[in-house]
Structure 1
Amino acid sequence: MKLLRRLLLALLILIVTGYVGVIAYMYFNQRALQYDAQGEVLALTDTALTNAQEVLIPSDGETVAGWYAPPRPGMPVIVYYKGNSSSFTEESERYERFAADGYGFLAFDYRGFPASRGEISETNILADALAAYDWLDAKSDAPILIWGRSLGSGPASYVASQREAVALLLETPFLSALNVAAERYPILPVALVMQDQFRNDHWIEDVSEPVLVAHGTADRTIDVTNGERLYARAPNPDELWIVDGAGHSDLWDAGIWDRAKPFFDRAMNR
């Protein structure tokens, strides 16, 4: 019996040590695990964006790099908050469609992503997001539309809670980054150790703009219930667009732009 108790105690110590070790590893490496900030930067000259320009936006003593194109007269401008992976430049097809339909746009890389130097953190991403919005507001008299995709739903929701835009579109958003982490690692105390939590669930409650949430039922990165629950918290909900069978990166091909334009028209005409 003594031997059995010793073996059980040793096993318990091993399990606890391993558990604490996993928590410590995730705590000290959490930003490397959370963000995927690698990728090539596409040159603006390699796109069909003939009316766009490269811009540098000041943000807390740093600068973030982006592209800006003005809208046609009488049209609005989209400030686009990118997702978690690669550079904003990889989504040039989107910006080309925006411009072709007369919309202006501003898209950029947060600090630490390929086109912008600096350190990645929630604090810096939110500061960059506000700086971009304010830069655009000072640059253009056109109505501003906010579009946030995936990780970008965090800064988009935050900015919409702090500024008065015309509309907020959230593509594959999370309820919070904390919620996604808790779903992926249910046995870990993520609420105690996670630094960059992106509390969309709190920010959305202060969003007065009309909100469209788009999500896919086959999203394996951010479960569709995140979008549904976030939409339910919006004070001014306009549309919840759920695409059956769509994954995390499928909504552009599924026609989100054709869904976005009527939404923006409704918001502009309110």
Structure 2
Amino acid sequence: MAQYWSGINLSRPRPAGPAPAMNGLSLTELCCLFCCPPCPSRIAGKLAFLPPEATYSLMADETGDKHNIILTERADWLYTDKEKEAMEAFYTRTSKGNRIACMYIKCCPNAKYTVLFSHGNAVDLGQMSSFYLGLGSRINCNVFSYDYSGYGDGTGRPSEKNLYADIEAAWLALHSRYGVPPESVILYGQSIGTVPTVDLASRHEFGGVVLHSPLMSGMRVAFKTQRTWFFDAFPNIDKAPKIKSPVLVIHGTEDEVIDFSHGLAIHAKCPRAVEPLWVEGAGHNDIEVHGQYLERLKKFVSDDLPN
């Protein structure tokens, strides 16, 4: 049964992070892991991406530039049609040539910050839309999000390189289309979404960064290695020291998908890390139901960031 709290949809059809170690690996892939170094990156990719069946489609208006988002029942939209009018959707192209869907939700008329949200691996924009509206209205921020290549109504296929191109295209669209400067953007990555978030934050300075259940690297999740191999995927731990923005790390102490040690390590590596939120007893997909989640985000926006 879907969980709801304060009007925010917390349902997740499948875990929002990489699948458990060794899940679905064939004997050939296991042999390749030790005999052919380039293979683990592809294996990590298979473990990480679980795009759901699309829960929405985009319908162009008379200008062809803006689109109405048509949600299916699986999107679990919790709000009224009038509230849905706060959502604007459109397509953009990535540097890899893929078409991805983007969504801008104007939650607050006088918001100082816009959250650029990179979601977990087993959801799309339709499923996240209610969560975004509820989150933004409660922390007094607008929300901009996008689907990864191969997710939702987009083209291409999910991959590590496409993740980096996807968030770059999303950021450029947010900046050029809505005139939002980098200092007014909070990058928010959840689970696999911390991968593009950390990459973009390591290359550009923003108002703030939130890393929700971050992973150190793909190999560290899948095979619990203690170092970054040259063929590793998603090396957040090596990019985190380059982030110049204030960083809030959130992690559940009983995370069954990405161990709590990953959050601890990422927090220690960020030069401008603020007081983290360690949610005692929380797993990978239920942090949002704990009251301190919204309270810490509100404090991050109001106290930890420049105002």
Q: Normalising to structure 1: TM-score of the pair?
A: 0.82
Equivalent residue for 1:37?
51
Q: Describe how 1:12-161 pairs up with structure 2 within 5 A.
A: 22-24=30-32, 27=39, 30=43, 31-42=45-56, 44=69, 46=71, 47=77, 48=79, 49-60=84-95, 61-70=97-106, 71-101=108-138, 102-142=140-180, 143-161=184-202
Kindly tell me: are residues 69 and 93 of structure 1, through their superposed partners in 2, closer, same or farther at Cα, counting changes over 3 Å?
closer
Question: Aligned to 1:239, what secondary structure does the other structure show?
Answer: coil
Q: Which amino acid aligns with 1:264?
A: V
In the aligned structure 1, how far is the partner of 2:125 from the partner of 2:214? 17
Question: Aligned to 1:237, what secondary structure does the other structure show?
Answer: coil
Q: Which amino acid aligns with 2:32?
A: A
In the aligned structure 2, how far is the partner of 1:21 from the partner of 1:202? 26
Q: Which amino acid aligns with 1:95?
A: Y
Kindly tell me: are residues 231 and 99 of structure 1, through their superposed partners in 2, closer, same or farther at Cα, counting changes over 3 Å?
closer
Task: List runs of 5+ in structure 2 lacking aligned partners.
Answer: 1-25, 58-68, 72-76
Superposed CA RMSD? 2.6
- Aligned equivalent of 2:247, options 188, 211, 215: 211
Per residue, is there more helix in 1 or in 2?
1
Which has the bigger relative contact order, CA under 8 A and spacing at least 6? 2
Kindly tell me: are residues 266 and 137 of structure 1, through their superposed partners in 2, closer, same or farther at Cα, counting changes over 3 Å?
farther
In the aligned structure 2, how far is the partner of 1:62 from the partner of 1:131? 10
Q: Normalising to structure 2: TM-score of the pair?
A: 0.73
Would the aligned equivalents of 1:145 and 1:165 in 2 still touch at CA under 8 Å?
yes
Would the aligned equivalents of 1:221 and 1:248 in 2 still touch at CA under 8 Å?
yes
Task: List runs of 5+ in structure 1 lacking aligned partners.
Answer: 1-17
In the aligned structure 1, how far is the partner of 2:33 from the partner of 2:55? 31
Question: Aligned to 2:245, what secondary structure does the other structure show?
Answer: coil
- Aligned equivalent of 2:295, options 220, 243, 258: 258
Would the aligned equivalents of 2:216 and 2:235 in 1 still touch at CA under 8 Å?
yes
In the aligned structure 1, how far is the partner of 2:123 from the partner of 2:105? 21
Aligned residues: 247
Cα deviation code 1:92-111 (max 9, x no counterpart):
23211134244211111110
Cα deviation code 1:233-264 (max 9, x no counterpart):
00001121111110000111113233212102
